[in-house]
Structure 1
Amino acid sequence: MQGLTGKARYRRHVALDDISFSLARGEAIGVLGQNGAGKSTLLKLVSGVLEADSGTIRRNGRITGLLELGTGFDSKLSGRDNIAVNARLIGMTGDEIAERLNDIIAFSELGEFIDAPVRTYSSGMVMRLGFAIAIHADPVCFIVDEALAVGDARFQQKCLKRIRAFRDRGGSILYVSHDINSVKLLCDRALLLSNGKVIFDGGPEEAAQSYYRLIAGVDDALRNARDDEQESYGAMRTRILQVTMANRFGVGDRFGSGEQVTVTLDCESLQDAELSVGILIRDRFGQDVFGTNTSLLGKPAVFQQGGHVECRFSLPLNFAPGKYTLTVALHTDDTHVHDCQHWWDAAATFEIAGFTKTPFSGLCYVPVEFQQHIPVDSAQFATSQS
C-alpha cells in the first residue's frame, strides 16, 4: 500500500535507545520500569529471540529463562514432546535432554498432564513447564520475566528457591518484576527503564525509590533530599516536617517486640486539602513488612491552608527483633501514585531490641490460641485398654 500511495503506513517506534550494561558471573540484576518501558524487549535481545538494529550484544555461554508464556511451545504437542522441542531451541543436546527428562517432568509437577496437549494447559501449567526446562538446561545466565507471577504461591516459592541456589553456584540472573520486594531480595543491583532508556543503574533500594518517583509522576524539580540517606519528594503543598516514635516512656528508637508505640507526623499545609496520611515499615533487607494509610482506614485527614497539625498512628510493634525503617507519606487516594504531596523514605529508623511478650519465629507476631481435644471414641478406647 505504501508503494502505491507514497504515504507512510507505519509509525517508527524506538523500543530501546542507547542501552549499555554488563552482567558479571554470579551477579543478579533487576530490571524495573512501567509497562512499555522496554523491559521485555531488552530480555528478548539478550536471549537472542530478537536481533538488535544496532550495537553489539556479547554473550558468554548458554542463556535460558522465561519470557512470554508459551514462547517456544507448540500448542498441538504434548508437554513431554514440547520438552524436546523447547530444549533444542535453547541449545540442549539430545543426550542432555534424555538425561534430564525425568527431572524436568518431576520439577514441573504436571503429573499425568505431561502427556496432554499444551493447548489444554492453564497459564500456570505452561509456566511450570517452561521454568522446569529452562532451569535444567545448565545455563550461565537465567532470565526471568513476569511469567512467574501466574504460578501459585507454593510453586513461586519453589522457583525462587531454585533461582537463589542457581545464583549461589555462580549463575547470573536478569530479573524483571513489578514485585519490588523480590527485586530487593534477589538482586545485587537494578536498572530502571523509561521510554527505552536506562534512567538509573545502581542499588536495588535506590532503584526502587526512583521507580516510586517515576510512577508517582514526580520529576527532579519536585525532589527535596533531606540528606544522603533519606529521600523526600512530592508537590510539597502539604508536607511532613518531623516524624517521631514514642512508647510510654517517651520518644525513642529502641522498642520491644509487641510494645505499643505512637508515630507522630508533624505536618504543615499551604492549601485546603483532604489527604491520605500513610506509614510503611521495612526491615533491614528493604522488604515491606507493614503499611497502612488513613484512606485504607476510612479516616481521611483534613488540612487547612496555613495550618499546622499533628497526625498520629498508634500500633503494637509485633515484629521480630531487628532494625527497621519508617517511611511516611501524604497523598490522594490509597496510594502515593495519585497526587503525591510528600513521600519521605526512611524518615525514621528504629530497632526491636527483644521480646516483651510471647517469643515467636518469622517476621511478625500473630495472636494464636491452642486447644487440645480428645474425641469421645478415643477416650473410651483408652479406658477399655486400661
Structure 2
Amino acid sequence: MKKILEVKNITKIYKMYKNNIDRLKEIFLNKPYHKEFISNNSISFDLYEGETLGIIGVNGAGKSTILKIIAGVTNPTSGEVIRHGRVTALLELGTGFNDELSGYENIFLNGTLIGMTPKECEEKAKEIIAFSELGDYIQESIKTYSSGMKMRLAFSIAIYSEPQILIVDEALSVGDAHFAAKCTAALRAKKEQNMSIIYVSHDLNSLKLLCDRVILLNHGTMVEEGSPEAVINTYNFLISKLNDKEETITIKEAQNSSFGTFDVEIMEVTIKGEKSKSNIISSGEKIIVDVKIVSQKDLPNMTVGIAIRDRFGQDIFGTNTFHHKKTIDFHKDSSYICSFHMPLNIGVGKYSITAALHSQDTHLSNCSHWLDYACDFEVAGVEGEAFVGLCRLEPTIDFRQIHTKI
C-alpha cells in the first residue's frame, strides 16, 4: 500500500509560565522560569492511501496537538511529518471563517485557506451549498449561524476540496443526527475513492464503523496501535483506571478484553433460545443470558451488566441490574448466576456479548471485571412477521379512510 503520510518521532513540548513577567525574566536574565509540559512524546505512525485511521484517548492525551502538527498549524519541538498529498483539517469549529462575511463568501475564503484555487471554489460552490443544506442561509452572515450550521458548511467545504488526507476532529459531534449520518456516508464514499482519513472522536461506535486501524494516546505517548476492537478495549481499561486510586485494576493474562480488580469474577457467560436450546436463535424468540460469577470477598451494592454487539463491534443493546433497581450483594467464597430473560428482537446476523461487574451504573465505578467477547451467538430466521433492519419494533398497523372524494 502507498504511504500518504509519515509521522516520525514527533515530540511537542510547551513552556508553561506562571505569568507574563516570568516570560520577560527568562528572556533578559537568561534563566529558565518555566515548567515543561510534554503534549506529544516520540509519536510515530504511517497513514496509507484509502485508509481511515482513528485516534482516541482521554482528555489531555495529546490528540489535538498531533492533529495540529500534521495539519501544519503547529510546529513540533522535534521530529518530522512527511506529507505525500494535500491535507485538509476540520479542527476547532469556525477556524478559517470570517464572521462578518456570508456563508457563500466564506466558501471562497475557507476554500483558499485549505488549498483550493478560486476557480475550484467557484466550480464546487453549488455542490458545497447543496451538501450543507443551508439553503438561503448561505447568503447570511456567519455570525448568525449556530454551531451546527457552521459545522455543516465547514464539513461541506472540506469534503469537496478533494484532499488526499482529511483530518476530522470531533466535528460530527456538533449538529443533528441526520447530518452526522450524511457526513459518515460521505466519508465512507470518499474512502472508497482512496481518500485517507484521520478521525478523532469520543463516539466509539463511529470509530468501529469507519476506521481500519486505531491509535491510542495516553499522556502524550502512543500506548497501542491495532484493530478498532482491540484498541478500544484497552481504552475502556484506561477509563476504568481513572477512578482506581489504589491501582487495583489489572489486565488478565495481558488480554485487554478482560480486566478489573477480580475481587468478583465472571467465570462464564452463555446464551440460549428457549425453543432452540442453543446459541442459534430466531429473531423474536425468548432467550436467557446466564452470567456465572464467583466472589472472593464481601461486596455490597454491586451491578451485573451485559451488552450485545454486532459483527462490526457496534453496541446494539445494553442493560444492567442498576438500571433495573435490583440490589446485588456478593459474599466471600460464594458463586452466583445472574440471568437476563428477554425476547431477542434484533435482526438476522452474528453477535457477541460483553459482560461486566462493577458498582453504580457504569464500569467507571469499582470495576471488578470487564469481559469482552464473553460469548457469541447467531440470529438465524425470524419468528412472526418479517422485517428489515436491526431492530424488531413490532408495530400495530391501523388503516382507515379519512375522506371520500365527491
Q: TM-score, normalised by structure 1?
A: 0.93
Q: Secondary structure at the match of 1:350?
A: strand
Secondary structure of the residue that 1:15 maps to in structure 2?
strand
TM-aligned CA deviation for residue 271 of structure 1: 2.2
Contact kept in structure 2, 1:225 and 1:231, CA below 8 Å: no
Which of 88, 94, 101 matches 2:112? Answer: 88
Aligned partner letter, 2:274: R
Deviation at 1:220, TM superposition (A): 10
Structure-2 separation of matches of 1:69 and 1:203: 29
Identical residues among aligned pairs (%) = 44
Give the aligned partner of residue 334 of structure 2: 307
- TM-score if structure 2 supplies the norm length? 0.89
Kindly provide the CA deviation profile for residues 142-199 of structure 1, in whole angstroms up to 9, marking residues without a partner as x: 1111021011111111111111100001110100011111111111100000001110
The 3-state SS of whatever aligns with 2:306 is strand
Q: CA deviation at 1:252?
A: 2.3
Q: Which residue of the partner structure matches residue 334 of structure 1?
A: 361
Once the two structures are superposed, the pairs formed by residues 173-322 of structure 1 within 5 Å of their partners are 173-217=197-241, 222-225=250-253, 231-248=257-274, 252-273=278-299, 274-322=301-349
Q: How large is the RMSD of aligned CA atoms in angstroms?
A: 1.9
Any idea what SS the aligned residue of 1:199 has? strand
Q: Does the residue aligned with 2:191 lie in a helix, a strand or coil?
A: helix
| Aligned mates of 1:185, 1:4 — CA distance in 2 | 51
Deviation at 1:343, TM superposition (A): 0.4
User: CA deviation digits over 1:194-252, x for unaligned, max 9?
Assistant: 001110000001011011001011779711149x7x82110011111121223335852
Deviations 1:329-377 (A, max 9, x none): 00111111111100010111111121122211111100101011112xx
Structure 1 unmatched runs, 5+: none
- Contact 2:214–2:226 under 8 Å retained in 1: yes
Q: 28, 51, 56: which is aligned to 1:32?
A: 56
**Which of 383, 388, 405 is 1:356 aligned to?**
383
Q: Is the 8 A contact 1:244 1:251 kept in 2?
A: no
Contact 1:277 1:300 in 2 (8 A): no
Q: Which moved more, 1:181-190 or 1:292-301?
A: 292-301
* One of 131, 145, 148 as aligned partner of 2:169: 145
Deviates more, 1:4-13 or 1:30-39: 4-13
Q: CA deviation at 1:49?
A: 1.2
Code of the residue aligned with 1:288 in structure 2: it is D
Paired residue secondary structure (2:41): coil
In the alignment, the residues of structure 1 paired with residue 135 and residue 33 of structure 2 have an alpha-carbon distance, to the nearest angstrom, of 49
Q: Distance in 2 between matches of 1:191 and 1:37?
A: 11
Does residue 69 (structure 1) correspond to residue 93 (structure 2)? The answer is: yes
Find the counterpart in structure 2 of residue 57 from structure 1. 81
Shift in Å at residue 61 of structure 1? 1.3
Distance change >3 Å, CA 220–CA 33, structure 1 → 2: farther
Corresponding residue SS for 1:17: strand
Structure-1 separation of matches of 2:335 and 2:37: 49
- Alpha-carbon distance between aligned partners in 2 of 1:249 and 1:111, rounded to the nearest angstrom: 54
